[in-house]
Amino acid sequence: MADWNPALYSRYERERTRPARDLLAQVGLENPKRVVDLGCGPGNSTELLVQRYPNAQVTGVDNSEAMLASARKRLPGATFALGDIATWLPSEPVDLLYANASLQWVGEHETLIPRLLSALAPGGVLAFQMPDNRAEPTHRLMREVAASEPFSRYFEDPNNMRTGILPLAQYYDLLAPHAATCDAWHTIYQHPMASAAAIVEWVSSTGLQPFLKRLPEAVQPDYLAEYQRRIDAAYAVRADGQRLLAFPRLFVVAQRA
């Protein structure tokens, strides 16, 4: 996949940062020494951690050089490192592992989640949130357009384009036996969007990336045009002229025993 586009990702920073704030609000740690932001992106979530824990050693980890460059510019006093969540392990136990909308890009959660919990110091907290929107029109229509002509020739199985996440209760079952406390919940955000084009722009920096990667550059505009046409039909204009983008997210906060 081509590297992430920090400018496009940050275009909806307020909306993307809101669940990051909501996640951090449920973390009860007062004075952690070592904090890691897994999948830190352009540093918007890392900034929340630095503000909340000014005396902690805060490190942002991401596999995108472009995102890390943006994060370093935003927070020159913080530490950022290139790393892959799928294989990442800290050099010493961490007090807070925080992952805002990043773990959904990594597979094998049955082993990943327990491994992350084991990387915590006693009493440390694992806190993560992920989009749980694969059944929403935004993501369903990505697959449907990919399965239609003339695009289907570029996709073996459009339904297999994204790493799946587990049901909420399964995350609880993975963590609760080894945790002092485990809190898991869903929130469905309703984001007012100016137009169907704005919704397409939002997902173009994230969920659409695996689909666009499979298409020749010459074909991508046709795919996006058909996708936007279907998005326009799927999201009705509300009374104020906006579209409401429903965005379900899954949250988990677990404290290691």
Q: Which tens digits make up the pLDDT trace of 93-127? A: 999 999 999 999 999 999 999 999 999 999 999 99
Amino acid at site 13:
E
% residues pLDDT > 70 (the chain) = 95
State the CATH class of domain 6-256.
Answer: alpha beta
Exposed/middle/buried for 221, CB within 10 Å: 0-12, 13-18, 19+? exposed
Say what the pLDDT of residue 5 is.
58
pLDDT for 69 equals 94
Q: Which of 6-10, 136-140, 168-172 has the lowest mean pLDDT?
A: 6-10
**CB atoms inside a 10 Å sphere around CB 14:** 10
Per DSSP, the residues of 116-162 read HHHTEEEEEEEEEEEE--TTSHHHHHHHHHHHSTTTGGG-S-GGGSS
Amino acid code (one letter) for 98: Y
Give pLDDT tens digits for 151-160. Answer: 999 999 999 9
pLDDT greater than 80 at residue 3: no
Q: Could you read off the pLDDT of 8-51 as tens digits, one per residue?
A: 555 667 888 899 999 999 999 999 999 999 999 999 999 999 99
CA distance 96 to 255: 9
At 7 the pLDDT is 56
Nearest to 196, CA basis, from 241, 162, 252: 241
Locate 105 and state its tokens.
């890009």
* pLDDT band with cut points at 50, 70 and 90 for residue 1: very low
Q: Using pLDDT thresholds of 50, 70 and 90, give the confidence band for residue 206.
A: confident
